[in-house]
Chains A and B, each alone.
Chain A
């Protein structure tokens, strides 16, 4: 695994955030690093951010740290916009660590990087395991992502694609909020991290006989992050529908949806925020998943 150019990441209290950064900086140090953090979790992320700062100092690696806010998404977008614009990434290789990056931020960062002409790669550090009790709660209002909300057709029905994760209630919330004519649920295959019981079985039981929902299998860890299968599901519906897409499953699936949006810019990306994340969200660090945009 080797990286060069810049690294962009969002700080987290999770072990894999720090371990992942340590891997890079030891194996193939980047030229510079942009570290964002959310002010609502400033305290929780402080220790890891301090460690990242120290590591960067030791390796003489320029690091810029910027604050974002879950409660002020407009300001956060502007921070990302301004900081990426001034970072002179045009034509340069940039690696986006999506491991602990909220999906809305992943999409915005990828979008702004492509806009300035950067050559974008991504990395996702799997954990050793996830907390099996709960991961996030206190759902916020679903929202379309700035500048990635597509081109809506007047009078066309809404259709929804959700790549599911462990949170069945979040899927129900999205469906209840957008009231789509039809929903496509992409369910991650495999039994990694208790996926069968916590994701597959739950969603099939809930939606298996719902005529308003089509289920399909998807593999976010495949070479294309599931892109081809997702596109196959929706392409016959695209012309006469307004598609809203959301990722709740493994983070690489967010990359697939981003690529789908780029190919079909009339589609909209939607984010389902959480008010609270489990302080013990995950444990350890597993294998990385890397890819190019």
Chain B
């Protein structure tokens, strides 16, 4: 069957590949502008876009890049505006990964590193502008060429167009520099290195002599900036610290865990708020009404349009009707309980009670039966994603794949998919949940950088014990049974740093996400730790979390990880935290 299936070419609309593998058309088709971060990209501020893999950083940058916006303008039959030139600059490249600088002393290492970085930026600018038709129409190209050759002390090939000649010159330069540092000596260096102020700034100043670009602002969008070497990061921070954002600004996409330092080359530091704005791409998903919930709906809707399905996301991924019926029945039971407890209760009090205990009641009733809940429905999928778009698309991809595969088992003619049966959803969800646990148990130390076998075992024990705790709370807790996020207290504990390091590995592995929120009782910001909700179906937990978090002591978490000790449970938390309103954003 697999052989037959491989021969069938079909389009899976839920492709969850990295965005840099998408075509321009796919980027335009799939990107949702309303709930993403375009407004930050299109500002003149320096921005750090921070989020783990799959949160949409690359997609956001690529969508806003000039070549994609050019195609968008063509589709909409309007001219492209050139007030803002968004230049996409990938940092995960073989050039960035070159490590010969490590053989050099600090100063020459920083010079060579900046040289490669600057050439990459200049090439990206030239490449981006080369895609704008008729850009040089009103320009004095001869003068432009002469000016550029003068400021960069170079010659452009006269038989090539301006931008092609510029790109070729830059390639020639980067080739010379690489050949120099590839020489088989320990101190191989390149004498003619250029800095940002000798390369990028004069280039941009020259380009602004093109009439169409006279008022343009250049947004230099660096993707995967965590791949830059330490010297390049310091150089970038120094440029950010420059803070005259008239002509250019930086939009820097980086992961949270590997987020680069904010130190500059001179030993100073760039400051959030002052030098840049930080945008956290990881959105805690709390309800269908939250921004992420709306975004998720639109993302899937767009994908369905591509396969000619006009159904809503909810209808394409219908929940098991018995599941819905039973949840509703449990909510009704909770409502009656609430009305009994609060005879004069306000509608909010009643609805809050139902929210807290309705679903928990469902899972409490299930606890006496052996089988797991029939997890299904679009709402469940969105909760399982834990606020990460790729985590939403991945199970959808495998569900669609399974339906196609099953259809072809019955007939070799391709048939239209207009729904994912709830049984398929349940099977895929449970399978992916089980695989995730298997991966934590068997695969973490084989695939996550810096994770030893011992740490992999500790992480499995930690998450296993968290699952046990959350399950016990679900079945017995008096006030917040469905809390599946936690904060950490007792940070003076002697092994707190070791625990933090373990949690950092968990974040690298994306089995744990974090976001900050305000601590109601102290007014400070505290870190919420949210285990990847895909873990919970295998353990019979409700991935539909609650607006609450459990405060856990560092010592208990450490003991759970290292000694496999159960995390203490009590039916009431020490401090009953004031619960947020149902649809409040965190």
Q: Residues of A at under 8 Å CB distance from B?
A: 73-74, 77-78, 81, 111-112, 115, 137-141, 143-144, 146-155, 158, 167, 169-170, 172-173, 178-179, 181, 208-209, 212, 242, 244, 268, 275-276
Contacts of B179 in A (CB 8 A): 151
CA distance A150 to B93 in the complex (A): 12
Contacts of B445 in A (CB 8 A): 137-139
B231 to A: closest C-beta gap in Å: 14
Closest to A167 in B: B446
B126 to A: closest C-beta gap in Å: 9
Known: A170-B446, A244-B94. A146 touches B171 (CB 8 A): no
Closest to A209 in B: B6
Asked if A147 contacts B100 (CB within 8 A), the reply is: yes
Known: A78-B186, A158-B93, A268-B94. A152 touches B449 (CB 8 A): no
CA distance A154 to B170 in the complex (A): 8
A198 to B: closest C-beta gap in Å: 14
Asked if A143 contacts B99 (CB within 8 A), the reply is: yes
Asked if B167 contacts A137 (CB within 8 A), the reply is: no
A282 to B: closest C-beta gap in Å: 19
B325 at the A interface (CB under 8 A) = no
* Among all A-B residue pairs, the 3 with the closest Cβ atoms: A169-B446, A154-B123, A152-B95
Asked if A181 contacts B6 (CB within 8 A), the reply is: no
B197 at the A interface (CB under 8 A) = no
Contact for A140 among B21, B175, B178, B449, CB less than 8 A: B449
CA distance A212 to B20 in the complex (A): 13
CA distance A244 to B99 in the complex (A): 14
Asked if A81 contacts B184 (CB within 8 A), the reply is: yes
Closest to A84 in B: B184
B18 at the A interface (CB under 8 A) = yes
B81 at the A interface (CB under 8 A) = no
The 8 A CB mask of B427-455 against A (1 = contact, 0 = none) is 00000000000000001011111111100
Contact for A74 among B102, B443, B452, B453, CB less than 8 A: B102
Asked if B20 contacts A179 (CB within 8 A), the reply is: yes
B61 to A: closest C-beta gap in Å: 14
B62 to A: closest C-beta gap in Å: 13
Contacts of A158 in B (CB 8 A): 92-94
Interface residues of B in 182-225 (CB under 8 A from A): 182-186, 188
B319 at the A interface (CB under 8 A) = no
CA distance A155 to B95 in the complex (A): 10
A-B contact pairs, 30 of them (CB 8 A): A73-B99, A74-B102, A81-B185, A81-B186, A112-B184, A138-B453, A139-B446, A139-B447, A141-B449, A143-B97, A144-B94, A147-B100, A149-B98, A150-B178, A151-B182, A154-B95, A154-B124, A154-B171, A154-B174, A155-B127, A158-B94, A167-B446, A173-B449, A208-B6, A209-B5, A209-B6, A212-B17, A268-B94, A268-B97, A276-B452
Asked if A178 contacts B100 (CB within 8 A), the reply is: no
Asked if A242 contacts B94 (CB within 8 A), the reply is: yes
Number of B residues whose C-beta is below 8 Å from A? 45
Asked if B446 contacts A149 (CB within 8 A), the reply is: no
Closest to A114 in B: B184
B474 at the A interface (CB under 8 A) = no
Asked if B123 contacts A155 (CB within 8 A), the reply is: yes
Closest to B176 in A: A151
Contacts of B95 in A (CB 8 A): 152, 154, 242
B495 to A: closest C-beta gap in Å: 21
CA distance A144 to B94 in the complex (A): 8
Closest to B451 in A: A138
Report which residue of A74, A148, A170 has the largest number of chain B beta carbons within 10 angstroms of its beta carbon.
A74
Asked if A150 contacts B124 (CB within 8 A), the reply is: no
CA distance A275 to B133 in the complex (A): 52
B119 at the A interface (CB under 8 A) = yes
B103 at the A interface (CB under 8 A) = yes
B461 at the A interface (CB under 8 A) = no
Contact for A144 among B18, B20, B98, B123, CB less than 8 A: B98
Contacts of B100 in A (CB 8 A): 146-147, 149
CA distance A222 to B453 in the complex (A): 36
Contacts of B99 in A (CB 8 A): 73, 143-144, 146, 149
Closest to A153 in B: B171
CA distance A112 to B186 in the complex (A): 12
B120 at the A interface (CB under 8 A) = yes
Contacts of B452 in A (CB 8 A): 137-138, 275-276
B435 to A: closest C-beta gap in Å: 13
Closest to A241 in B: B94
Asked if A181 contacts B21 (CB within 8 A), the reply is: yes
CA distance A225 to B369 in the complex (A): 59
Known: A137-B445, A169-B443, A181-B21. A111 touches B184 (CB 8 A): yes
Interface residues of B in 82-102 (CB under 8 A from A): 92-95, 97-100, 102
Contacts of B170 in A (CB 8 A): 154
Closest to B97 in A: A144
Asked if A178 contacts B449 (CB within 8 A), the reply is: no
Contacts of A153 in B (CB 8 A): 171
Asked if A137 contacts B94 (CB within 8 A), the reply is: no
CA distance A268 to B96 in the complex (A): 12
CA distance A81 to B170 in the complex (A): 31
Interface residues of B in 458-506 (CB under 8 A from A): none
Contact for A149 among B21, B97, B451, CB less than 8 A: B97
Knowing that A154-B123, A208-B2 touch, tell me 8 more A-B residue pairs with CB under 8 angstroms: A138-B445, A139-B446, A149-B182, A158-B93, A167-B446, A209-B2, A209-B5, A242-B94
